[in-house]
C-alpha cells in the first residue's frame, strides 16, 4: 500500500470531539487520563504529565488556553536545536520592502520541485506586526507533492490557520489526527507539533499565521444567539499516539527562523489529554450565512468565521472571512461587492469556482491584496452585468472565496513583489468604467 493510500485509509476512519473552545478530553488507552488532579505523584500507565500553555497563566478564564498532556516521554527530553534554512518562509517585522498602496494580484504558485513537503513548500507573501511582540499576522502559501516523513513541525511564533485549495491533508498532531480537504480549514495552535501527510498526489493552499491573540468566534450582537459559524461544527481530534523509537527531525519556527533537532523518538506520543489548547477542523460550507432580505449589500464583516481580537473592541488583529454559497434577494440593489476603500487591509484567496466581483483573472489558488485605503471593487465586466441584471432571487453556489482582513497594512516580501506569477496588469480590470454622469 502506498503512502497516499495508507493516509487515505487512516483519514476515512477518523472520529472527533465537537465544539469550539470546549474543555475536551480524550484517552487512546483506557485509564491513561488521571482524574481528580492534573499532576499526580505517578501519572497513570507510567506516562509523564505535561502542561502546554497557549496563554499566560493569569489571563482571564474565558481567554485562557491550556491543555494537559500525558505522554510517553516529556517534551524536555531532546537534544539542542540548530539553525536551519528558512527556505521561502519569512516572518514579521517585514522590513525588506516598503508598504505598497498599489492593488496586487497573483496567480497560483508554480508547481513545486519533486520531494517538496508542507514545510519546505511554505512561501511567504507578506504580513505585518512583530512576531517577537506577538502582534500582527503573515500570509503564506504552500505547495507540496510529498508527505512529511520522519519529520514534524511546530510554530512558536503563532497559530496556523490552514486553508487547503487543492489536495487533502492528513494532519497528525500531538493531540490526535485531523483530515482537512479543500473547503475545510484547520487550525494548529501555537507550539503544537504536527506532521502533514498528503491524501492526493499534490496539495496547495493558503496559511494565515496569527501572531496575536488566538482566533475566537466573533460576538453576534444584534444577530442574536445563532448564526455565522456554529461552535458545534468545529471538530477537535481524539487522542492518538506514536510509540516509536526512531530518529525524527523536529523543525521549530522560533522568532522568525527555523531550528531543527533530531529526536531519538517520535514526539507525537501523547496517549491522553484534556484542555482548551487544541487543534480543530471546520467545514466552511457549514457557515450559516446572514444577509440582506430587503436592500443593499451587507458589509463583508457579516461573513466573519473567526477573529483575533485586539485591545480595541471591533478592531481585529486579523479576521478570517468566508464568502460561502448564499442567496441574493436585495431589491433595487447592486448585488456584487460595492466599490470600496477600507482602513483595514484585505488579502483574498479563492478555493473553488469564481468570485462574484471579478469576471476574470482571479482563479483558485491565486490571491489579491488590497491594502489600507486602496480603492477596489467589481471589475468593469461585473459592474456592467450587475447594473443591468434582472433582480430576481439568485443563488451563488459555484464559488468559495475567503479573506484575511487585518488592522495593519500587509507588506509584501521581496519574493512576492518580484514573483513571476504576480499579475503585472491587475489595474487594467477597472479600465473602461465609463463616464455615465448625466446632469
> Which residues have CB under 8 Å from 18's CB, separation 6+?
232, 233, 234, 235, 236
Q: Judge contact between 297 and 338, C-beta under 8 A.
A: yes
The answer to whether residues 120 and 140 touch, using CB atoms and an 8 Å cutoff, is no
Given a contact cutoff of 8 angstroms between Cβ atoms, the answer to whether 288 and 228 are in contact is: yes
Q: Was 35 annotated as part of a binding site?
A: no
Active site residues: 297
d(CA 323, CA 404): 12
Q: Could you tell me which of 158, 277, 148 has the C-alpha nearest to residue 212?
A: 158
Binding-site residues sit at: 376
Binding-site residue numbers for homogentisate are 376
Amino acid at each position: 500500500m502506498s503512502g497516499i493510500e495508507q493516509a487515505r485509509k487512516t483519514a476515512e476512519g477518523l472520529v472527533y470531539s465537537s465544539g469550539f473552545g470546549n474543555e475536551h478530553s480524550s484517552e487512546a488507552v483506557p485509564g491513561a487520563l488521571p482524574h481528580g488532579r492534573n499532576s499526580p505523584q505517578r501519572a497513570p500507565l507510567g506516562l509523564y504529565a505535561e502542561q502546554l500553555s497557549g496563554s499566560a497563566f493569569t489571563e482571564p478564564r474565558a481567554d485562557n488556553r491550556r491543555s494537559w498532556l500525558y505522554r510517553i516521554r516529556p517534551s524536555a527530553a531532546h537534544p539542542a536545536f540548530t539553525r536551519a534554512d528558512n527556505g521561502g518562509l519569512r516572518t514579521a517585522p517585514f522590513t525588506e520592502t516598503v508598504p505598497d498602496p498599489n492593488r496586487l494580484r497573483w496567480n497560483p504558485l508554480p508547481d513545486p520541485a519533486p520531494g517538496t513537503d508542507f514545510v519546505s513548500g511554505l512561501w511567504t507573501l507578506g504580513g505585518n506586526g512583530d512576531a517577537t511582540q506577538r502582534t500582527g499576522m503573515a500570509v503564506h502559501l504552500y505547495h507540496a507533492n510529498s508527505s512529511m516523513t520522519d519529520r514534524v513541525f511546530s510554530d512558536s511564533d503563532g497559530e496556523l490557520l490552514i486553508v487547503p485549495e487543492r489536495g487533502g491533508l492528513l494532519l497528525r498532531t500531538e493531540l490526535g489526527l485531523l483530515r482537512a480537504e479543500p473547503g475545510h480549514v484547520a487550525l494548529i495552535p501555537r507550539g503544537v507539533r504536527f506532521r502533514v501527510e498528503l491524501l492526493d498526489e499534490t496539495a496547495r493552499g493558503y496559511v494565515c499565521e496569527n501572531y496575536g491573540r488566538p482566533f475566537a468566534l466573533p460576538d453576534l450582537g444584534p444577530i442574536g444567539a445563532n448564526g455565522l459559524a456554529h461552535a458545534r461544527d468545529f471538530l477537535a481530534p481524539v487522542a492518538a499516539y506514536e510509540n516509536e523509537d526512531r530518529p525524527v527531525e523536529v523543525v521549530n519556527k522560533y522568532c522568525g527562523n527555523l531550528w531543527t533537532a533530531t529526536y531519538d523518538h517520535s514526539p507525537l506520543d501523547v496517549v491522553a489529554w484534556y484542555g482548551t489548547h487544541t487543534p480543530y477542523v471546520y467545514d466552511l460550507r457549514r457557515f450559516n450565512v446572514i444577509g440582506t432580505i430587503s436592500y443593499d449589500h451587507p458589509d463583508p464583516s457579516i461573513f466573519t468565521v473567526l477573529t483575533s481580537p485586539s485591545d480595541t473592541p471591533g478592531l481585529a488583529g486579523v479576521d478570517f472571512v468566508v464568502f460561502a454559497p448564499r442567496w441574493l434577494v436585495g431589491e433595487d440593489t447592486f448585488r456584487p461587492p460595492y466599490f470600496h476603500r477600507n482602513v483595514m487591509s484585505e488579502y483574498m484567496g479563492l478555493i473553488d469556482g469564481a468570485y462574484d466581483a471579478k469576471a476574470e483573472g482571479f482563479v483558485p489558488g491565486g490571491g489579491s491584496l488590497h491594502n489600507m485605503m486602496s480603492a477596489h471593487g467589481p471589475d468593469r465586466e461585473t459592474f456592467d452585468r450587475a447594473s443591468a441584471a434582472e433582480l430576481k432571487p439568485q443563488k451563488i453556489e459555484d464559488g468559495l472565496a475567503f479573506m484575511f482582513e487585518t488592522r495593519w497594512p500587509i507588506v509584501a516580501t521581496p519574493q512576492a513583489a518580484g514573483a513571476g506569477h504576480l499579475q503585472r496588469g491587475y489595474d487594467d480590470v477597472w479600465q473602461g468604467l465609463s463616464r455615465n454622469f448625466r446632469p
